[in-house]
Structure 1
Amino acid sequence: MLQYCTFWVGELFIGIEVSRVQEVLSHSSITPVPLAPVHVKGLINLRGHIVTAIDMGLRLDVGPAGSADGDMMHVILNDDQGLLSLVVDRAGDVVEVDKEAHEDPPDTLQGEARRLIRGAFKLEGRLLLDLDVDYAVAISG
């Protein structure tokens, strides 16, 4: 069994293996970065660490993450390159999935979302999309 940290970006229900996630935070002040790629929302200060914030809505080509009133969540990743924030609409729960139940991405995914999703797991009442984290956080991707 695998554990996935889940979140929503638009209507997409997405998951990342828990081992890649350090923490999930509510809205944090974001400082824009001039001349950065459009999906780089800016920088956040996480307890003295400067963290790049990637707008997953723009990265997935489904519109900016967060609500009209500015509410958003940060999924903080800790990997070889340091800390990164995935800016998402809202956080979900940690769910367990069977590794053998991994399927190809649904044919309904289009464009950039199709390239960023490695596959899917069928859960009760919804489909959990398995995000290719390494590709998603590639700034030039």
Structure 2
Amino acid sequence: MSTAEMDTDSSHGMESQLDYSNQYVSFRVDGQLLGVPVNMVQEVLTEQVISPTPLSRAEIKGLLNLRGQIVTAVSLRKRLGLPDLEDGNSMNVVTRMGEESFSLLVDEVGDVINVSGRSMEPVPRTLDPHWRSVTIGVFQLEEGLFVILDVETILNFE
């Protein structure tokens, strides 16, 4: 085997170890299992102090300070047309879009779910139209429907 072939073989081994395309960070909002690609998630945090931003859109809960970095907190409940949680306690799924960081406020965070070997199905027509507009597909899991969100669309407020 030539050096070039060995390099190719070893790089394929590395790629398969670092392939996150089948892994999603899962969380629940209003009891529904949702997810975003793991490579879009910077970190997951417990409830944080959020400074309100007057005159902002309803989906924008405010700003939080993450080790000196200002992060915009987005209520996924509001974005999906749901009422706020009664106790107000939300977990934070911090994502990056370009140079900015956003915290998606969710009810609870689950595990990283690996869906390799499963195929993503199109968004069902029966899903609420507002939800369909921010969803890229679904996976049928033993515990129910796993809805994959389109983070770019969720963070596009225009």
The TM-score with structure 2 as length reference comes to 0.82
Residue 130 of structure 2 aligns to a residue in which SS? helix
Question: 1:125 Cα shift?
Answer: 2.4
Partner of residue 43 from structure 2, selected from 3, 8, 23? 23
Quick check: 1:117–1:130 contact (8 Å CA) kept in 2?
Answer: yes
Name the counterpart of 2:146. Answer: 128
Structure 1 residues 81 and 109 mapped into 2: Cα distance closer, same or farther (>3 Å)?
farther
Question: Which among 55, 78, 90 is matched to residue 108 of structure 2?
Answer: 90
Label 1:54 to 1:18 Cα distance change in 2 as closer, same or farther (>3 A).
same
Tell me, yes or no, if the aligned pair for 1:39 and 1:54 is still in contact at 8 Å.
yes
The structure in which a higher percent of residues are strand is 1
- Counterparts of 2:78 and 2:117 in 1: how far apart (Å)? 29
Paired residues, number = 138
Larger RCO (CA within 8 A; separation ≥ 6): 1
Whichever structure has more helix as a proportion of its residues is 2
Shift of 1:34: 1.0
Query: What is the TM-score when the length of structure 1 is the normalising length?
Result: 0.91
C-alpha contact (below 8 Å) 2:97/2:152 kept by paired residues: no
Letter of the 2:127 counterpart = L
User: For the residues of structure 1 that align with 2:70 and 2:36, how far apart are their CA atoms?
Assistant: 22
The CA distance in 2 between the partners of 1:38 and 1:78, in whole Å, is 21
Q: Percent identity?
A: 38
**Which region of structure 1 is more displaced relative to structure 2, 107-116 or 18-27?**
107-116
Cα offset, 1:99, TM superposition: 6.9
| Residues 111 and 81 of structure 1: CA distance in aligned 2, closer, same or farther (over 3 Å) | farther
Which consecutive unaligned segments of at least 5 residues does structure 1 have? none
Give the secondary structure class of the aligned counterpart of 2:133.
helix
Work out the CA distance in 1 between the residues paired with 2:46 and 2:114: 23
Larger radius of gyration: 2
Give structure 1 regions of 4+ aligned residues with deviation exceeding 3 angstroms: none
SS state at 1:106 partner: coil
Can you give the 5+ residue segments of structure 2 that lack an aligned partner in the other structure?
Answer: 1-20
8 A Cα contact 1:27 1:73, kept in partner: yes
Q: Which position in structure 1 is the counterpart of 2:72?
A: 52
